[in-house]
Structure formats: C-alpha cells, structure tokens
C-alpha cells in the first residue's frame, strides 16, 4: 500500500507503478544539499533537509495524481508543483 496525499485527507492505495527517485547527497558543515531526480525528469537542486522532504512530498503527490488520473508516463518536475 502507498499513501497518497489528498488535501485534507490521506488515501491509501495500492500501486504497481513504483515511483523512482534518485537523490544525490552532499554533506555540508551544517546541513545537507544535493540533487533530486524524479522518474527521469531533469535533476533539480535542494538545500537542507526540509527542502528535500518537500521535494519528496511533491513527487509522491504528483505520482499519486497521475495514478488516479490513469497516467504514469512522463517525468515529474518537483519544482513545478
């Protein structure tokens, strides 16, 4: 089961289409930074744990929306959500 966020609710749904996320991490003196690539889309930068978590949340929300709409093809640009 994968949980998909819907405004105001949490909907659990089963999916046969896993979401592929690649995270390249760099340790800095105070936090973490790096690049995140979601489902073959262009890599984007993030700085800090909160921004990384936000990008991951956006990727899951978009992926769940594509599953609910019946389309899981194409990349997900987490910056455009």
Where in the chain are the domains?
A: 19-80
Q: How many CA atoms lie within 13 A of 32 on its CB side?
A: 11
Which helix (H) or strand (E) element contains residue 69? helix 49-69
Cα separation, 31 vs 38, in Å, equals: 22
What phi and psi values does residue 24 have, to the nearest 5 degrees? -100, 120
pLDDT (tens digit, 9 = 90+) per residue, 24-64?
999 888 889 999 998 878 899 999 999 999 999 888 888 88
Q: Give the pTM.
A: 0.65
Q: Is residue 80 helix, strand or coil?
A: helix
Q: Is residue 57 helix, strand or coil?
A: helix
Q: Is residue 22 helix, strand or coil?
A: strand
């Amino acid at each position: 089961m994968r949980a998909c966020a819907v405004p105001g609710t949490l909907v659990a749904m089963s999916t046969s289409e896993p979401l592929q996320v690649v995270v390249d991490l760099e340790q800095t003196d105070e936090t973490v930074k790096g690049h995140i690539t979601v489902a073959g889309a262009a890599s984007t930068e993030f700085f800090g744990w909160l921004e990384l978590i936000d990008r991951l949340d956006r990727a899951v929300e978009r992926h769940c929306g594509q599953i609910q709409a019946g389309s899981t093809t194409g990349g997900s640009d987490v910056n455009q959500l």
